[in-house]
Amino acid sequence: MAGRPKIFDEQEAVEKATEVFRNKGYDTASADELLSAMGIGKGSFYLAFKGGKQELYIRSIKQFAGNFNQKIALAIENSEDKIDFIKKLFFALAHAEDCDIERGCYLGNALVQLSEKDAEIKKITAELLKGLQKIFAKSIKEAQDNGQLKTQQDPEILAWHLTNLWNGIHVTRRMESSPEMLHSLIDINLKLLE
């Protein structure tokens, strides 16, 4: 006998757990809060997530980042001016009242909070950020090729600069929430994209 069939959608359950992790953080999200949000019992939880809370968190990061990168890649691909889209993406970080799902703050916060505590999470977040870097690099190269971007700096390096800026803004937002200051900081960094 193969065991009891799953009676819940794992992807949906992980999405609900992600909201708890986003709002509470990994350390303070309790098992009861996670189970309640996911709408499942302990037995089902440990059947699906044998590694417990940490496995759920890792799956949450992977699912969130995969969706985020896919959404960003599609939005950039469908934009007429890829560089303008990238700039607006960053400036939106400065003016966000809350670090919401559209801005990828959950991934940025995971990097800050746990990547140094856990080697596996560090490796996963690094890989996922490389995905974001590749999206930026492709867009920069296309913008250079079609004349939307004058700089002839290496697209890979510029993309790493943007990825570093994305990380840095998430860290800086924890210390300084002034939209004007964040906007100015982003503006200086985006001068490379001219």
Q: What is the average pLDDT score of the chain?
A: 85
Could you tell me the pTM of the whole model?
0.79
- Tens digits of per-residue pLDDT, 139-191? 999 999 999 899 999 999 999 999 999 888 887 877 777 889 999 999 999 99
Give the percent of the chain with pLDDT over 90. Answer: 44
pLDDT value of residue 112: 63
Per-residue pLDDT, averaged over 62-80, amounts to 89
Distance between alpha carbon 20 and the CA centroid of its chain, in Å? Answer: 16
Cα radius of gyration (the chain): 19
Rounded Cα distance, 60 and 120, in Å = 14
| Maximum Cα–Cα distance across the chain | 64
**Position 64 pLDDT exceeds 60:** yes
Answer for the pair 132, 75: CB distance below 8 angstroms, yes or no: no
Assigned CATH topology for domain 52-190: Tetracycline Repressor; domain 2 (1.10.357)
Q: Which residues contact 18 (CB under 8 A, 6 or more apart)?
A: 60, 63, 64, 106
On the question of pLDDT at 20 being above 80, the answer is yes
Looking at residue 121, its pLDDT comes to 76
| Nearest in space to 58 (alpha carbons), one of 130, 123, 137 | 123
What are the start-end ranges of the H helices in the chain? 10-24, 31-38, 42-48, 52-77, 82-95, 105-114, 119-145, 155-175, 179-190
Cβ-in-10-Å burial (0-12, 13-18, 19+) of 59 comes to: buried
Lowest model confidence (mean pLDDT) among 15-19, 84-88, 106-110, 127-131: 106-110
Structure confidence by residue, pLDDT tens digits, 99-152: 554 445 666 666 666 666 677 777 777 887 899 999 999 999 999 999 989 999
- Kindly provide the b/e burial profile for residues 171-181, where b requires at least 16 CB atoms within 10 angstroms of the residue's own CB: ebbeeeeeeee
Alpha-carbon separation of residue 135 from 34, 114, 177 (angstroms): 32, 24, 27
The pLDDT tens digits of the residues spanning 36-61 come to 999 998 888 988 899 999 899 889 98
Structure confidence at residue 1 (pLDDT): 40
Burial of 56 (0-12, 13-18, 19+ CB in 10 A): buried
Residue-range domain boundaries for the chain = 52-190
Whether 94 and 182 have beta carbons less than 8 Å apart is answered as yes
